[in-house]
């Protein structure tokens, strides 16, 4: 037939066109998602020759390597990115006037009269902190650095630099070129912006509860506010059945989350506590608490090599100080001096005054030695006894992101030198005591090569692909810092009794895995000894419903003489345990299909992927291994650890 070759050619052309279309459409996504970066296999045509896929680089036009290294290290911290997203989302859903009015310095943000320590700063700086200028600028920069380019891409850090210059109203000096100073400026500014935003929200809430006027209330569009509140209040509660969620507080056009006090806070902020003890009288004054965003450890200059644990011991070890004047010892010395004067004097009036002073001193010694009586004149402090004290420091609040600065500077009388001693640092860092142990994982390293006055900074960044921020309750009200609600438990339905054909009562158990429940089965109702055990699971075996075909099987009749309710419950528990591969699920339905043996190699594949790093020097990017990162003992300058959540 003459038409057959033409038909075959047409089919062949159509198939070729379809194949080209599939490659053109799906090849970029396939290679981007499935071809691991740094694989030893042949490179694909999207990577451009032999170049392997990398991350976005940063240009260095004017000795900006100290800025680029810090930004690349911060871009690999997942908890920091989540915090930045939450903070900007918080400021976007609140009314604008909340952050444009500077909070008074004497405002107490908590009901018990306490408040976070604040600095006395000008009003324009406080308003900038409340708006979160640097938070927004850093978020935009880290979002660009976390893009997954399919070709070489380089951006500039100038937008963030200009944002910081605008926030501080001064130019950032390029003369010092110290990466640690830049990190400290950024981290402390982010911490100040977090506390300023928290104070602004508390201040707005107090003003509105007291009925006081606010600057931007007259300009608020009432209909727009009602619309936004209706969105956040969750009109879908009746549809989704989640009655346990707490809606946001609706107060004169301001959205105030009820979980504002339970927010996690700035992830890089930690607290240390310094305690001293007098070795003469045993008095311990109130401990001094201080915040930190970067932890500075001194590298010993009298050794050629050391470890990170030794540097920690040097900071947190007990330190003994001589020639210290203890407050309690001074009061005891004054008491002894007054007693000696009483024995010498003959005046009854003077004895009476000394007796009153001794009573006040004794009361102060017993209650609060740090505050001497105001109406008692103590002897000159130069006559007070000098004693020896012991001082130790401990971390009372461990941050989610631990930034460690290794101080390598050695200051002499005329010059400054760099300490080039080797510092061995681990990939897993345990901190804390036995009862409150914190395990950290290394995510970023900043190294420096050169002398104290010149050199070059590089950064190592772990190849982590952070999942997007998941919100399982998209159409339900939830606070910015609230935890994701657990799925709704299965309703406990009693068995239904209806007569059978022969007139005897027949028990029919409803299917707990039916689609009408709309959620995964609750394992608590099937545990032995639980008070909710009266609900009957689905039947299996000869006379019941089998879960082998899936969790939505329809209930069937059952002969009561074949099995008992106890055996049915045991069978249902074993079946549900097979269906739930892990205890921490996402709330979605799962099938009862057993896990094949081929998936057992996934954890090792994940560990292999976590062992890959990016070595970034401005716009030059190449791969590195964990062994190469840990071998940078002489050049290591900054370490970034994150709380490890992989441990069960």
Catalytic (active-site) positions: 65, 456
Q: Which of 554, 538, 553, 551 is nearest to 592 (CA)?
A: 551
Measured between alpha carbons, how far is 189 from 413 in angstroms, rounded to an integer? 33
Measured between alpha carbons, how far is 645 from 392 in angstroms, rounded to an integer? 30
Q: What is the DSSP string of 75-138?
A: HT-HHHHHHHHHHHHHHHHS-THHHHSPPPTT---STTS---------HHHHHHHHHTHHHHHH
Q: Which of 563, 558, 572, 457 is nearest to 525 (CA)?
A: 572
Measured between alpha carbons, how far is 100 from 322 in angstroms, rounded to an integer? 51
| Angle in degrees, CA 14, 19, 21, rounded to 5 | 95
Contacts of 535 (CB under 8 A, 6+ apart): 490, 492, 493, 494, 512, 525
Count of alpha carbons within 13 Å of 574, Cβ hemisphere only? Answer: 9
Measured between alpha carbons, how far is 172 from 155 in angstroms, rounded to an integer? 19
Extract the tokens encoding 58.
Answer: 């940063």
Q: Which of 79, 117, 294 is nearest to 198 (CA)?
A: 117
Q: Report CA-CA distances (Å) from 504 to 376, 494, 497, 560.
A: 96, 19, 10, 10
Measured between alpha carbons, how far is 592 from 579 in angstroms, rounded to an integer? 5
Measured between alpha carbons, how far is 486 from 463 in angstroms, rounded to an integer? 31
What is the bridge-based pairing of β-strands 438-450 and 455-462? antiparallel
Measured between alpha carbons, how far is 516 from 395 in angstroms, rounded to an integer? 51
3-state secondary structure of 440: strand
Residue tagged 């002894």 (tokens): 336
3-state secondary structure of 381: helix
Q: Is the distance from CB of 281 to CB of 391 less than 8 angstroms?
A: no
Q: Is the distance from CB of 351 to CB of 397 less than 8 angstroms?
A: no
Measured between alpha carbons, how far is 406 from 298 in angstroms, rounded to an integer? 6
Q: What is the DSSP string of 156-205?
A: -SHHHHHHHHHHHTSPPPSSS--HHHHHHHHHHHHHHHHHHHHHHHHHHH
Measured between alpha carbons, how far is 236 from 227 in angstroms, rounded to an integer? 14
Q: Which of 245, 263, 247 is nearest to 255 (CA)?
A: 247
Number of other CB atoms surrounding residue 632 within 10 Å:
21
């Amino acid at each position: 037939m003459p038409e057959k070759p033409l038909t075959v050619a047409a089919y062949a052309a159509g198939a070729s066109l379809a194949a080209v279309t599939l490659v053109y459409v799906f090849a970029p996504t396939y290679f981007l998602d499935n071809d691991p970066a740094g694989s030893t296999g042949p490179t694909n045509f999207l990577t451009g020759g032999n170049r392997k896929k990398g991350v976005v680089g940063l240009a260095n036009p004017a000795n900006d390597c100290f800025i680029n290294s810090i930004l690349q290290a911060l871009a690999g911290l997942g908890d920091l990115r989540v915090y930045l997203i939450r903070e900007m989302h918080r400021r976007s859903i609140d009314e604008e006037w909340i952050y444009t009015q500077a909070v008074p310095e004497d405002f107490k943000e908590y009901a018990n009269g306490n408040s976070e320590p604040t600095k006395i700063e000008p009003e324009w700086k406080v308003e900038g902190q409340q708006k979160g200028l640097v938070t927004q600028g850093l978020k935009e920069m880290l979002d660009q650095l976390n893009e997954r380019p399919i070709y070489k891409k380089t951006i500039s850090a100038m937008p963030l630099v200009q944002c910081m210059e605008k926030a501080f109203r001064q130019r950032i000096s390029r003369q010092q070129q110290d990466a640690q100073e830049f990190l400290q400026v950024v981290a402390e500014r982010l911490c100040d912006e977090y506390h300023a935003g928290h104070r602004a929200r508390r201040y707005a809430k107090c003003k509105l509860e007291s009925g006081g006027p606010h600057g931007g209330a007259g300009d608020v569009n009432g209909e727009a506010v009602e619309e936004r509140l209706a969105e956040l209040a969750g009109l879908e509660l009746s549809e989704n059945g989640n009655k346990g969620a707490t809606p946001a507080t609706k107060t004169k056009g301001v959205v105030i989350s009820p979980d504002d006090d339970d927010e996690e806070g700035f992830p890089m902020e930690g607290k240390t506590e310094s305690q001293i003890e007098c070795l003469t009288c045993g008095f311990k004054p109130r401990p001094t608490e201080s915040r930190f965003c970067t932890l500075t450890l001194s590298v010993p200059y009298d050794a050629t090599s050391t470890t990170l644990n030794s540097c920690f011991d040097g900071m947190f070890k007990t330190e003994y100080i001589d020639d210290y004047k203890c407050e309690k010892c001074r009061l005891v010395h004054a008491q002894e001096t007054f007693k000696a004067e009483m024995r010498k004097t003959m005046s009854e009036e003077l004895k009476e005054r000394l007796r009153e002073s001794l009573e006040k001193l004794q009361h102060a010694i017993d209650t609060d030695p740090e505050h001497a009586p105001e109406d008692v004149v103590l002897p000159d402090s130069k006559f007070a006894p000098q004693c020896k004290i012991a001082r130790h420091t401990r971390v009372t609040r461990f941050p989610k992101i631990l930034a460690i600065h290794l101080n390598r500077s050695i200051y002499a009388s005329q010059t400054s030198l760099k300490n080039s001693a080797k510092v061995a640092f681990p990939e897993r860092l345990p901190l804390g005591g036995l009862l409150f142990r914190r395990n950290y994982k290394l995510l970023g390293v900043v190294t420096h090569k050169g002398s104290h006055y010149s050199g070059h900074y590089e950064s190592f960044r772990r190849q982590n692909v952070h999942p997007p921020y998941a919100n399982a309750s998209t159409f339900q009200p939830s606070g910015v810092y609230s935890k994701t609600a657990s799925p709704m438990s299965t309703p406990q339905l009693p068995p239904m009794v209806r007569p059978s054909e022969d007139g005897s009562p027949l028990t029919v158990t409803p299917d707990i895995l039916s689609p009408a429940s709309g959620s995964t089965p609750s394992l608590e109702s099937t545990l032995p000894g639980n008070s909710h055990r009266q609900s009957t699971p689905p039947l299996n075996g000869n006379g019941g419903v089998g879960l082998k075909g899936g969790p939505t099987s329809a209930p069937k009749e059952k002969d009561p003489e074949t099995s008992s309710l106890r055996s049915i419950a045991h069978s249902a528990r074993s079946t549900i345990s097979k269906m739930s591969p892990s205890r921490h699920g996402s709330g979605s339905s799962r099938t009862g299909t057993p896990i094949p043996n081929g998936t057992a190699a996934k954890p090792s594949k994940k560990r292999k992927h976590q062992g890959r790093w990016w070595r970034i020097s401005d716009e030059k990017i190449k791969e590195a291994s964990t062994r190469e990162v840990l071998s940078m003992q002489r050049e290591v300058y900054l370490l970034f650890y994150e709380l490890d959540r992989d441990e069960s």
